[in-house]
Amino acid sequence: MIAEQIVNGVVLGSMYALVALGFTLVFGVLDKLNFALSELFMLGGFVVIASVGLGAPLWLAGILVLVVCGLLGLVVEFVSFRKFTSADAQVTAALSSLAVGLIMIDLVQKTWGGEPVSVPVPIEWRRANVAFFGMQIQVMKIVILAVTLVLMGVLHWLISRTAMGRNIRAVAESPTFATLLGIDVKRVNQQTFFIASALAGAGGLMFSLRNGIASSDIGFTFGLKALAIMAIGGMGDLRGAVLGGILVGVIESLAIQFGFGKLGEIIVWALMILVLLARPGGLFGAAHTTEQRA
């Protein structure tokens, strides 16, 4: 039973990790929080519902989630971040992105109503199990883990091996020096927002597939936990976001297993407070260095 809960925890944690990766990518490059990512996560499930409703097969719906959420990320960048360059921007841009997220919730509720909407996945898909070391594991969970791993692998490759990733890392360290090296910082920002938003949307896609529903009110809590995970893992640290996400997912699942129930949530917040007290830079990364943007 404990082993099964650990598997559940890893599945949950991988979804946290996808959203936390989005937060930490944007933070790494801009030193700003993009709260709209919480609602792009929420939107992931609804893009699936809309795509399948229009007749798309599930695999295509999955790709559409990445594209639609990525494009919405570009809108968020333009509306809430592009012009925010003053000293107050760390706060004002974050607030603006929060407002954009609230508008997304409103629009979803206008379209689908306030109640959870079921995701059109055949019930036998969600019920299918495979035996694995004596455990019964839902095939859906394996699919979720596999897709998440692929996405993380692609992200790692993009960031560490491609010219785009090199540019993203250069801008994350110093927008000024990056510009003097001929890098178009605006374009790098857009690329970062697209990737981060697509990842958040993918997290929402996985969440809706696992639960069989999409709900307009899940973004806020889930997003806050992803933020806590980013802090636990180290702001701007990609590896920290993944490891932190899995750590928190497993702790939460075990807390439920041992009968703490809702207390599992409190454990997450207590963990964040303790980690930040002991290691303000997060568990894994070196402290994120910020440059004075001149």
Partner 1 sequence: MSEPQLVVTDLHVAYGPIKALRGVTLHANEGQTVAVLGANGSGKTTLLRAISNMLARSQGSVRINGADTAGVPAHRLVREGLLHVPEGRGTIGRLSVRENLRLAYDLRPTRQSFEAALELVFARFPRMSERLGQLAGSLSGGEQQMLTLARAIVNRPRLLLVDEPSLGLSPVMVDEAFAVLREFQTSGMTILIVEQNVRKTLSFAHEGYILRQGQIVASGSGAELLRDPAILSHYLGAS
Q: Give the footprint of partner 1 on this chain (CB under 8 A).
A: 163, 166-167, 169-170, 172-174, 176-185
Closest separation between CB of residue 23 and partner 1, Å?
20
Q: Whose Cβ is closer to partner 1: residue 127's or residue 293's? A: 293
Nearer to partner 1, 185 or 276 (CB): 185
CB of 181 to partner 1, least distance (A): 5
249 versus 285: smaller Cβ distance to partner 1: 285
Cβ 188 to partner 1 shortest distance, Å:
10
- The least distance separating partner 1 from the CB of residue 79, rounded to whole angstroms, comes to 21
- Residue nearer to partner 1 on the CB measure, 183 or 218: 183
Least Å from the CB of residue 84 to partner 1: 18
Q: Which is nearer to partner 1, 172 or 255 (CB)?
A: 172
**How far is 196 from 202, CA to CA, in rounded Å?**
10
